Structures are given as C-alpha cells and as structure tokens.
Structure 1
Amino acid sequence: MDRTNLLPIGQFAQASGLSVTALRHYDASGVLTPAFVDPESGYRYFRRDQLRSAQLVRALRRLDMPIERIRGLLAGAGDGAEPVTDPAPRLAAALRDHLKAAERRLDVQRSLVHGLLTQLTEGADMNHRVTLRQGAAERVLVRGAMVNHHGLDPFLGTAYQDMYAVAGRGPLTFAGPAFVRYHGLCDEENETLVEACLPFWESGAQPEELGEGMSVRDIPECTYACTVVEGAATAFPEILTAYDAVANWIAEHGFAFAGPVRSTFLRWTGTPDHPDNRLEIAWPVEEPVSEGS
C-alpha cells in the first residue's frame, strides 16, 4: 500500500494531541479507525485528513462526553474513513444537548454542596423536625415502575393521570392525598421501584377495570416517623436531606425500618421548587425485636 499520505501512529499522536495509548483505545472502541494496519508489524497508520476527527475526539472527551456517544456522532457524520459534506449541524446539536445536561448536573452538584455545607455548619437535622404519627390502614390504587430521577416525573405524571381516570369511572371516594412509595434511592445514578399510590375508601365503590400495570393493595396500619418540607426544600436534590434526616432519627431512636418510605403530596403546584409546595416524608417504623425474644 502507498503510505505517502499516511502518518504513522507516533506522528499522528503528536499532531492530534492524543497519546498512542489513547489512539489504540479509540481504534478498539470503533471511534477512530486507522486507515491502514501493517499485517506484519501491527503498526497503525492514519490518513492526514483524519487529523480533524482526532482533534474533535480529543475535545469531546475533554467535555466528558461518553465514548459511545462520540462513536455514534462520528458514525453519523463520518469518522474520516468516508468524508461527509457537512457534519457541523449534527455535532452542534449534540454539543448544545451536552451543555444543557452539564448545566443540569452542575445545578444538582451545587445544591448538594450547599446542603452538605449546611449539615456541617448547622447539624444534619436542624431544619427537619421528625415526629411519630399513627397511620390507619389504607386501600390504595397502585402503579409501579423501575425508574431513576430522570424518569420519575414522566412516570408519575402518566401514572396519576391514568389512575384518576380509573377512579373517575368508579367513581372512587378518595380517602386522602396521593403519595409515592420509594423502595430505594431514586437519583440520577440509581434506579429503584417507585409506586404511585392513590388511597380510596374501602367501604365505597371499587374499581371495576384496572389500567395496565395497576393493582389494588391494602396497606396495614402502621407507625410513621415523618417530617414536612415546604417550598424550595421539596425540589431534588434538596429533598434528599429530609429523607436522610428521617432515616437518621429512626436509627438514633432505636426503631426498625418497616417498609418503603413515602412522600405525600399535602400541597403540590406541579413546580418542584414552588414556595406553596408542601410534602410529608414518612417512613414506616416498628419497635425492634429484642435478641432474647
């Protein structure tokens, strides 16, 4: 093969600002494929016009864009192996989306840092008064799904819309405000079972036809450790400090955790940080069983 217009990997690494190790990794990942690999030595060679693609990969990686995303962009816009007319619009749209996601992450990180600083300076539970209350037995209409924080609002919006439609056909008599049960941590990195719940009177009308994924469940009476949060404190991730405060109170007072934590919509405007929002965070608890019993 004529190697006149090819750059050996060492020269290409110098020109692109990528290390030889990185170029080998991007080759194995399908992000930046050499134009020629010597069958005897295994030495890689790149075309000169692949230099722009390599520089683009370097810049995108500095933005912490995942390799899979870069591979998809270069595959759609050409990776240097087959030039395209104008990859700029596709790449510009991807960069704008990436910037928006980075800004959202920064907002979350900023809120988390402020929350941690408040805990360190004022104490973890200073802003959350935890009390015990007795909860009556409940019959609830339930729809559950495995979601993380990104999928939480879309799931809850659809679930409650469908459940209110079923309740209206009953017609069911509501026995209290809607609430959500979380069977684990639901944040940007963790997916957990989330249940949208709508309590209705057991002695009244019952739903005749349930929607897809819905069920009727009886929740027994229980003691709850709870706190109330309002306004901006109801937004994610600030709301996590309320869950932590209740969990810490339960542990420190010797109770056992008796089920998934719930968030009850005492007052909800639809905007997460609205000053009129009011939520109750309640964790079912019970007296721990002694070792001798």
Structure 2
Amino acid sequence: MTDSDGVGEGWDGDGDGDGDGEWLTIGAFASRSRLSAKALRLYDRLGLLSPARVDPVSGYRFYRPAQIEQARLVALLRQLDMPLATVKETVALDGPRAADAVEAYWSRAEERFAAQRTLVHYLRGRLSGRSSEMYEKFEVRTVEVPEQTVICESRHVLAPELTAFIGESLGRLEKAAQECGGVVAPPFVAYHSEVTQESDGPAESCLPVADAAAARAWAGVQGPAVTARTEPARRLAYARITKAQVQYPQIIAAYEAVEHWIEQQGLTIDGPCREVYFAEWDTIGPDDEACDIAYPVR
C-alpha cells in the first residue's frame, strides 16, 4: 500500500481515534485539489505545499481540507508557466499583494513573449534566405577615429546581467573621468567574445578621456578589472540604430548587417565589435537614434 491510497478520509491522524477533524490521504487530496500525487510530493520537497501530517511509521502524507484552496491556487499559477520558486513566493503573500505579484509576473512574461515574437520573425527571415532583406534597413558607413586614451571596466557577464553592468560601469567611469581630464568622446562597450544566455564575454565598458597620464595613474590604484590604455587610430564600419532597435534580437540583425557589408566590401574585421552610445539614454524616445553598432576594419 502506498501513501497515495493509505488511510482513508476521517482518520484523526494520530491513530487514537479522537476525531479532531477530517484528514485527507494524498490520493483524496490530489483528486480534490486537481493536482497529481507526484506533483504534491514535489511541492512537499520544495516546501511549497507540505502535508499537515506525515505518519512517522508508515510515511503516509495527510492533508487538511483547508489546504485545498492553496493547492488549487498553486495549480492555477503553474498553468501560467510560473516557476516554482515564484509560485512559492506568491502563495505566501496576502490576497492583494499576491494579486500584484501575479500582475507583475505576467507583465514580464508579455515582454518576453514580445521579444520572442520578434525573434521568430527574425529567424524566419534568416532561415528562409531573406537575410539580405533584413539588412537593407541598416545603412552602413565608415568613420575614422583618432588615437584616444580610454579608461575601461571589464566583466564576464551573461545576457540577463548585461544591461545592468553597462549602466553601472559607465556611471563609475563617468565619475572617474573628472580625475582624468574629462570625457572627450562617447562611451562604448567592446565585446571580446559573445554575451548570450550561455556565453559570458567578457564585455568591456570604455570611456575616452583627455589626460593619458592621469588615466593610467587612476587605473593603477583600481582593481584588476579596471584598466587604462591608448586606442590606436582606426577605421570603424558602423550602422546607426534607434533605442528600440537596441533590444534583442533587432540588435543582432544590425550586427549581421555590418558584418555582411564588411564582407561585401572586401574588408577585414580588425578588433572586437563595439556599441557606441552617443545619446542621453534616459531622455530619448524609442524611435530616436541611440547607438552605433561598429567593427574596426582594415
């Protein structure tokens, strides 16, 4: 006999027959809560929905009828594909706060679905051989960038952490620039390897400053992730994109458009790709130009 069919309803839980309330076996509780016995055992292990009593001898699990509502709530939240950890946090809240948590979760899910819908459109074009059509919306140009001193902060980050790293590191570098003669050109982020869900770069935030000696002195007293160097004069091939296009996967199409153009022109990529942020991010709209997707070339 398993704990899914163990002692029936009405057992008082301690074997003394005092009848202190109704108890439900895991099988009966699963039926009434619309959850499987397997799911109930998992939720018990996770501390999400524990039985009211576990018999110390047989190991049978017993639930109270009052737990049915919580179990049904768990089942409904799981139908939203809500992760178990988030479900656990949500069911621990009171009604209004739980409702707010569900709304916040679904808003994040809709944002993710919108990005995935865009990714599907991009993949359909790529897999159907229409990549060149997608590239046509990006105008690729070149610019000569003079030699410049940059102060930099690098970190190994995965895609979900990237936006926060860029904002925080550039903020720190802008403060440091006051000790290094001031900012002389827009900041940029160089990618020494891919940053994705599985690949962690590193990414390097860079800010051009005026005083090379001061920059080296400042970097010398920072941690190993902070450096100062002189970037040689170089030619960049770039495509200018809007704030909305910075979002994934539109930004990937921009990178590929620049790569495609470089190949067509018979040029060679001569360094890590970079994103040059020339606009005040917090003050521009989604359709305003915000960033250059660039590759050093020769």
TM-score under structure 2 normalisation? 0.74
Mapping for residues 1-293 of structure 1, pairs under 5 Å = 2-3=12-13, 5-74=22-91, 76-77=92-93, 87-117=94-124, 119=126, 120=128, 121=130, 123-130=133-140, 137-172=147-182, 174=184, 176-186=185-195, 191-201=200-210, 206=215, 208-210=217-219, 213=223, 214-220=226-232, 224-230=236-242, 232-247=244-259, 259-270=271-282, 274-284=286-296
Identify if the C-alpha distance between structure 1 residues 267 and 2 changes in structure 2 by more than 3 Å, giving closer, same or farther. closer
Contact 2:181 2:209 in 1 (8 A): no
Q: Specify the structure having the higher radius of gyration (Cα).
A: 2
Contact 1:7 1:47 in 2 (8 A): yes
Which amino acid in 2 is paired with 1:262?
A: R
Identify if the C-alpha distance between structure 1 residues 271 and 212 changes in structure 2 by more than 3 Å, giving closer, same or farther. farther
In 2, Cα distance between equivalents of 1:16 and 1:57: 9
Identify if the C-alpha distance between structure 1 residues 128 and 13 changes in structure 2 by more than 3 Å, giving closer, same or farther. same
In 2, Cα distance between equivalents of 1:10 and 1:257: 64
Identify if the C-alpha distance between structure 1 residues 23 and 206 changes in structure 2 by more than 3 Å, giving closer, same or farther. closer
Which secondary structure does the structure 1 equivalent of 2:28 belong to? Answer: helix
In 1, Cα distance between equivalents of 2:115 and 2:103: 19
Q: For residue 248 of structure 1, report the CA deviation from its aligned partner.
A: 5.2
Q: Which moved more, 1:50-59 or 1:94-103?
A: 94-103
In 1, Cα distance between equivalents of 2:293 and 2:45: 48
RMSD, aligned CA: 3.5
Which amino acid in 1 is paired with 2:249?
A: P
**Residue deviations 1:187-220, cap 9 Å, x none?**
5776543221112346676464358553212344
In 2, Cα distance between equivalents of 1:42 and 1:258: 66
In 2, Cα distance between equivalents of 1:54 and 1:257: 57
Identify if the C-alpha distance between structure 1 residues 191 and 15 changes in structure 2 by more than 3 Å, giving closer, same or farther. farther
Q: Which moved more, 1:43-52 or 1:273-282?
A: 273-282
**Residue deviations 1:175-198, cap 9 Å, x none?**
x32111123444577654322111
Give % identity: 33
User: Number of residue pairs matched?
Assistant: 275
Identify if the C-alpha distance between structure 1 residues 269 and 50 changes in structure 2 by more than 3 Å, giving closer, same or farther. closer
Q: For residue 275 of structure 1, report the CA deviation from its aligned partner.
A: 3.0
Q: For residue 151 of structure 1, report the CA deviation from its aligned partner.
A: 4.0
Q: For residue 24 of structure 1, report the CA deviation from its aligned partner.
A: 1.6
In 2, Cα distance between equivalents of 1:233 and 1:266: 15
Identify if the C-alpha distance between structure 1 residues 185 and 56 changes in structure 2 by more than 3 Å, giving closer, same or farther. farther
Q: Which moved more, 1:10-19 or 1:163-172?
A: 163-172
TM-score under structure 1 normalisation? 0.75
Identify if the C-alpha distance between structure 1 residues 66 and 272 changes in structure 2 by more than 3 Å, giving closer, same or farther. farther
In 2, Cα distance between equivalents of 1:50 and 1:30: 14
Corresponding residue of 2:3? none
Q: For residue 143 of structure 1, report the CA deviation from its aligned partner.
A: 1.8
